[in-house]
Amino acid sequence: MIRSTTLGGILITVALATAGCGAATSQSSRPAQRPTAPPAATPAATQPPSVSQQVSDWFSSGGGNQLKAIATDSATVSTDLQTYAADGMQPADGATLQSDDATFQADIQAAQANLPPVGIPGLRTDYNAALTYDNAEATDLNNAVIAANAGDYTGATTDAQAGITAGNNGNTKLAAANTDVTNYTAP
């Protein structure tokens, strides 16, 4: 405990130790200082955003638009492939398929550069696997057009079937990513 008093114009400060060591006394000739405002509180450390907030931020800052682009591209490529096959693998239909494949692959690459955060178990892995299968689908379908244009219809059919299989696998992995999000329970 500290006590101060003025005696004959001299400030005397007495400190009493209360921890069982007896008393200690100190004198000072300095004038008493008035206490200033208490020190500013140290700001609390900022907490990282929750997993739900991270996913929401990812979705609203490009992830959602990338998902929509990939879904649109996938549907377009599927329609192109049906037209290409129904018309007997005509070069004009093949050119349309290849053009849409290129857009699909560009959108896939953009999405792979912006994967969702890792906080939801399985989401990032399943989503990336879906994108990898989608990329294989686009590559295989492009190869089918190249083979057909070269007169290799057996190779074109094999490539088209591989593309369809890759697309189905991509859809399965995308469904798994959706299940990952659905099953996630925030702590």
Q: Are residues 88 and 126 in the same domain?
A: yes
Q: Are residues 100 and 130 in the same domain?
A: yes
pLDDT value for 9? 47
Would 101 be classed as within a structural domain? yes
Q: Are residues 27 and 75 in the same domain?
A: no
Would 27 be classed as within a structural domain? yes
Beta bridge partners of 14: 3
Measured distance CA(184)–CA(108) in Å, rounded: 25
Measured distance CA(185)–CA(99) in Å, rounded: 41
* Count of domains forming the chain: 2
Q: Are residues 20 and 94 in the same domain?
A: no
Q: Are residues 106 and 26 in the same domain?
A: no
Report the length, in residues, of the chain: 187
Would 39 be classed as within a structural domain? no
pLDDT value for 46? 85
pLDDT value for 185? 82
Q: Are residues 22 and 70 in the same domain?
A: no
Q: Are residues 61 and 149 in the same domain?
A: yes
pLDDT value for 16? 35
Measured distance CA(166)–CA(159) in Å, rounded: 10
Q: Is the pTM of this model over 0.85?
A: no
Q: Report CA-CA distances (Å) from 179 to 1, 15, 17, 172.
A: 64, 68, 66, 11
pLDDT value for 45? 76
What is the DSSP-derived secondary structure letter of residue 60?
I
Check: CB of residue 133 under 8 Å from CB of residue 167.
Answer: yes
Q: Are residues 11 and 56 in the same domain?
A: no
Would 154 be classed as within a structural domain? yes
Q: Are residues 25 and 59 in the same domain?
A: no
Q: Are residues 16 and 83 in the same domain?
A: no
Would 40 be classed as within a structural domain? no
Q: Which pair of tokens denotes residue 20?
A: 């069982």
| 6: containing domain | 1-31
Mean pLDDT by 10 residues, the chain (187 residues): 45 40 50 64 78 92 94 96 94 96 97 94 96 97 97 96 97 94 85
Would 157 be classed as within a structural domain? yes
